[in-house]
Amino acid sequence: MPKQFDVYRNPSAKTNKLWPLYLILQNDYFDDLTTRIVVPLVSKNDIDLNKKRINPIVKINKSDFYVFIPAITFLEAKKINNKDFICNIASSRNEIISALDAIVTNT
């Protein structure tokens, strides 16, 4: 079962070139829902995002990725496959929550 701040490979051939990974944002308390709130992760090498306040950088397997908060979306939970699990980045929780807060409240 996906947990908050888990990172998965994006298996979609349509979107995995731009967004190779995605992050589960939804709190585990709501795991009874059929969907999960997710945000794509974009390689820092593939794009230069100047609004770092809303696109924090996280390190995954020694590579830097932007948490692309403006592209927040959802997936059906049944489409999240355990074989695509990479890691959990709960250690970056404060930066991610601050970015969500910034894009909603501009604080």
In this structure, what CATH number is given to the domain that contains residue 97? 2.30.30.110
In a domain, 99, yes or no: yes
Beta-bridge mates of residue 24 = 38
Tokens 């100047």 sit on residue? 50
C-alpha span between 63 and 18 (Å, rounded): 15
C-alpha span between 46 and 39 (Å, rounded): 17
How, if at all, do strands 63-67 and 57-60 pair?
Answer: antiparallel
pLDDT band at 66 (very low <50, low <70, confident <90, very high): very high
In a domain, 60, yes or no: yes
What domain range is 94 assigned to? 6-105
Instruction: Give the pLDDT score at 52.
Output: 76
In a domain, 64, yes or no: yes
In a domain, 66, yes or no: yes
Count up the domains in the chain and report the number: 1
In a domain, 18, yes or no: yes
Tokens 């809303």 sit on residue? 54
In a domain, 1, yes or no: no
What mean pLDDT do residues 49-62 have? 88
In a domain, 27, yes or no: yes
In a domain, 41, yes or no: yes
User: Which residue type, as a one-letter code, is found at position 13?
Assistant: A
Instruction: Give the pLDDT score at 53.
Output: 86
Residue length, the chain? 107
pLDDT 10s digits, 38-51: 999 999 887 767 77
